[in-house]
Amino acid sequence: MISDIAGMRLVRVLAPLLAVPLLATACQPAALAGKASPSAAATPKHVFVIVLENTSYQLAMRQRYIAGLARQYAVATNYSEISNPSLPNYLAMTSGSTWGIADDEYHTLPATGLGYQLSSAGVSWKAYMEGFTGDCLNSPYPYVVKHNPFAYYGGDCPANVVPMTDLVADLNGDTPRLSWITPGICNDGHDCGVATADRWLAKTVPQIIGSKAWKQGGVLFITWDESGARDGKVALIVVAPGFSGQLTMPLNHYSLLATIADRLRVPRLGNSKQATSLQPQLDAAAAKSPPSG
């Protein structure tokens, strides 16, 4: 049964963030807890999110490029999926609720969620979908609607959902504040395995971190919808200037949504209201590592 509708109203909640110290490696002083300067906190930042498929933490860390990112930047070692199969996890990441859904079928949900919220607040965003041809429900393989959560809220296909081929031009031009990036069902590792996803990341991530939007205080989150392992643990890699080490506190997809909301300065939705946000650690890192041009 669809649930949590009352909890999804867009209201501002002033809730204390759960500040948890990082167990940092010696090479990551910028990730330690601290306070960002007011000027750093006031500057609008860009957020990039890449969601991949069906890979446990252990398996992800055995891939060459993914492991390299984890060593160079930050990795959450205690990050969990919310549910099974794919769709409830994507909904959790974008609305703070699974809505009682336990399948990958299409469901029309209320007109809410992260996309509606950002549009209402005047915050630019796009969802870049590989294989998307303009129809959220019927675009061809490798696109699948169950990996496009924005198509469920309000039962329409937002104009903000665009083909993956638009990404490079936007990185070199007018980059939206939120760039949600969903590779097709082969490159995300679902059909073709995690090694394929690793190779796709090796081509795509350098384009993002080479952009002005990322260099000037941006952050890229890379995660997986679900593990496929009994422990339900997936990786969350946080790629941000001056931010490195291991994040050992318990986190999940609601934490990702909480961090995105805090970073873009919009109210948290649903279960993300009580989730641990990484924004204090990102602010601390930004204060110690000025953005580069």
Report pLDDT digits (tens) over 44-75.
789 999 999 999 999 999 999 999 999 999 99
pLDDT value, residue 2: 41
Cis peptide before 85 (omega within 30 of 0): yes
Structure tokens at 78: 């205690």
Q: What is the DSSP string of 136-160?
A: TTTPPTT--GGG-GGGTBTTS--TT
pLDDT value, residue 187: 98
pLDDT value, residue 43: 63
Torsion of CA 98, 56, 144, 266, to 10 degrees: 50
Residue 244, amino acid = S
The rounded distance, in Å, linking the Cα atoms of 107 and 76 is 31
Which residues lie below 8 Å from residue 220, measured CB to CB, with a gap of 6+?
A: 48, 49, 50, 205, 208, 209, 214, 238, 239, 240
pLDDT value, residue 3: 40
Which residues lie below 8 Å from residue 134, measured CB to CB, with a gap of 6+?
A: 157
Do 171 and 213 form a contact (C-beta atoms < 8 A)? yes
Pairing of strands 74-80, 251-252: parallel
What letter would DSSP give residue 8?
G
pLDDT value, residue 234: 98
Q: Is 293 exposed, middle or buried (0-12, 13-18, 19+ CB in 10 A)?
A: exposed
Give 179's strand partners. 48, 126
The rounded distance, in Å, linking the Cα atoms of 111 and 154 is 4
Q: What is the DSSP string of 277-291?
A: PSHHHHHHHHHHSPP
Cα→Cα distances 21→14, 63, 69, Å: 21, 28, 21
How far from the centroid of its chain's Cα atoms is residue 98's Cα?
Answer: 16
What letter would DSSP give residue 50?
E
Which value, in Å, is the radius of gyration of the alpha carbons in the chain?
17
Total-model pTM:
0.86
pLDDT value, residue 228: 86
- What parts of the chain have a pLDDT lower than 70? 1-43, 290-293
Structure tokens at 67: 């492991």
The rounded distance, in Å, linking the Cα atoms of 104 and 146 is 6
| Overall CATH class of domain 47-279 | alpha beta
pLDDT value, residue 42: 52
pLDDT value, residue 192: 98
The rounded distance, in Å, linking the Cα atoms of 33 and 19 is 8
pLDDT value, residue 33: 32
Do 53 and 228 form a contact (C-beta atoms < 8 A)? no
